[in-house]
Amino acid sequence: MKSFLKSVLATMVGVLLASIVGFFLFIGLIAALVSSGDNKEVKVKDGSVLHIQLSEKVTERSSKNPFDNIDFGSLSSKKSQPGLNDILQEIKFAKSDEHIKGIFLDVPSVAMGMATMEEVRNALIDFKKTGKFIYAYAENYSQGAYYLVSVADKIYLNPQGSLALTGLSTEIMFLKGTLDKLEIEPQIIRHGKFKSAVEPYIRENMSEENRAQIAGFVNPIWNHIVTNVAASRKITPAAINLMADSLKINEAKDALDNKLVDKLAYYDEFMDDLSVKAGKKKGEAPEFITLNKYKNASVATSTASDKIAVIYANGEISGGEGNDEKIGSETLAKSIADARKDEKIKAIVLRVNSPGGDALASDVIWREVVLAKKVKPVVVSMGDLAASGGYYISCAANKIVAEPTTLTGSIGVFGLMFNAQNMFKNKLGITFDTYKTNNYGDIGTMNRPMTESERVIIQRSVDQVYNTFTSRVAEGRKMKQEDVDSIAQGRVWSGIDAKRIGLVDEIGNLNDALRIAAELAKIKEYRVKSMPEQKEPFEEIMSGLSEEAKVWYFQSTLGDQYYILKELQSIKNKQGVQARTFYNLSF
């Protein structure tokens, strides 16, 4: 028996030691993959061409998360995609870098929102002002990618390739049929006839109001794209719309004949042209440097003591802690408060890219913006989406800057609860009986329909939040509350129209917001401080291991439909009154 116990104990200790060693070997493997050269000092050779690839999702700022650079399927490293902040910095740095001859846009497709794309495109236009070249090549161009590369001096396309030009669309997934089959009744209380975030639960198609508001922002965005492409390619907007309406661009030759591209060529032929343009001999490879490597050579240095804080508010809004993908009121409010109290920070730029979320959490953040504004200038820079709660946290700023293609507004509120009594009873045979000490002890339960008195109480709460929301906007934008109500009602606006109706001050990008903040703070030289502070890589490893693995699995399994699962998950996690919107604009 004694021998048996020894054997068991030895086995347990062996398994434990093996697990510990295995864990640290795994961490070591990850560290090796992550640090495979990205942080080495880089020297840029004369006549170099900046090679820009944007195949991975472009986030607001570069991530320190090491799992972003790992393919969990093969446990190998993959190309990491710099965030928008670094992409813009590198293009700006390359503009004045005497070693950089030009840019090669290797962009067959893009994974970024429309406003993000606009920022990159404008940075490329600015780069060209120096007289340096931009060449683009792809075997196929998606519509979004073509909009981006349309600024290039020369656009090449594979002779057997294709170019998409179809117009824009937005697709909404409706769940009413599913809920009907499950015998789940959505119980919705809302304020705002355009508050369409609830429509997927109560309709099988768009309401006329929703269709009207979608037309109101999709059409201006498409017109903006068409106008810019037409100007870059020296053709008329009418010609581009005709191509899209008739699906005229079916083959590579069609794109060439209609002046959308400059030359049909295979990759080796393109490389010959690029080499000559870069000052090399035909057949001699150009000196390429990628965005990832150039990042280590293009670090902006400044000795200025004054700072402007760029505080990133990215993702859905909820209470508690947040990260680069989710706005937590606790984390974001603390960052704003820290920036307010820091005497070296002379102004704040709040970079908002959010569909909204929890109304109370939005108000907590709004309060910190108000407090900060009393001490120093606060300027909002809107990204792809700054709607509903995203607008709530923006409205108190001194100035609001948005891209023409930003989706904003959606000043409306709703409450959402589900009555699953019939599903439990008829599908699962489950019934419930309740004892309560007071009339409303079980308010909000899924096990019965809400009573009329409960509906009145919740409607009163939603109306109160809507009244608070519109009063906050009226105060921040110096408007009458009734005028805010007339453009609110949950309606979504493009950045172009938001400026026209007074919800936005200027059309511009993050750099424009920084310029305005510096002007308001009356400073000329400054450094940018990014907030909230990002976790160090090892912290990310310890906190993100299981979560990143789950995300990888579902993304690789579901592909483009992953966003449906993500939306269903967000529905499950919603609590309290909501101020949010959701659209999936397809390029």
Show which residues are catalytic.
195, 388
Q: Which residue has the tokens 């409205």?
A: 395
The span from the CA of 357 to the CA of 577, in Å, is 9
Q: How far is CA 275 from CA 34, 90, 96, 177, 460, in A?
A: 32, 22, 21, 58, 68
Q: How far is CA 295 from CA 41, 46, 92, 443, in A?
A: 10, 17, 11, 54
- Residue pair 495/404 in contact (Cβ under 8 Å)? The answer is yes
Between CA 110 and CA 118, with CA 112 as vertex, the angle to 5 degrees is: 95
The span from the CA of 526 to the CA of 282, in Å, is 45
- Residue pair 351/310 in contact (Cβ under 8 Å)? The answer is yes
Cβ-based neighbours of 13, under 8 Å, separated by 6 or more? none
- Residue pair 401/507 in contact (Cβ under 8 Å)? The answer is yes
- Residue pair 516/399 in contact (Cβ under 8 Å)? The answer is yes
3 state DSSP class of 153: coil
Return the bridge partners of 327, or none: 317
Cβ-based neighbours of 88, under 8 Å, separated by 6 or more? 119, 120, 123, 510, 511
Residue 468 phi, psi (nearest 5): -65, -45
Q: How far is CA 287 from CA 349, 451, 486, in A?
A: 37, 72, 57
- Residue pair 260/233 in contact (Cβ under 8 Å)? The answer is yes
- Establish whether the linkage from the previous residue to 532 is cis, with ω within 30° of 0: yes
Residue 204 phi, psi (nearest 5): -105, -5
Q: What share of the chain is helix, strand, coil (3-state, %, to 5)?
A: 45, 20, 35
